Amino acid sequence: MILAEITGSLPAAVGCFAAAIGVGMVGAKAVESVGRNPEASGKILVQSILGMALAEAVAFYAIFLT
């Protein structure tokens, strides 16, 4: 019983972990980009929010489809 519960939630945990890594990478690169080109911060913000939303979608797919 316990093993079934643990193995049943492993795909969701891996999907959420991957989404967290993706959001962290997007955030880090956005900060790096603004540091290199501060004038483009508005465009970078829009693109980074879009990228983070798409990365978080992976977590929702992992949770709800497993």
Quickly count helices (H) and strands (E) in the chain.
2, 0
Instruction: Quickly state the pLDDT bin for 11 (edges 50, 70, 90).
Output: confident
pTM for this structure? Answer: 0.80
Q: Which tens digit of pLDDT belongs to each residue from 42-59?
A: 999 999 999 999 999 988
Would you say residue 6 has pLDDT above 80?
A: no
Distance CA 15, CA 25 (A): 15
Domain ranges in the chain are: 2-65
Assign 54 to helix, strand or coil: helix
User: How many degrees, rounded to 5, is the angle at CA 35 between CA 31 and CA 41?
Assistant: 70
Give the architecture (CATH level 2) of 2-65: Up-down Bundle (1.20)
Specify the DSSP class assigned to residue 66.
Answer: -
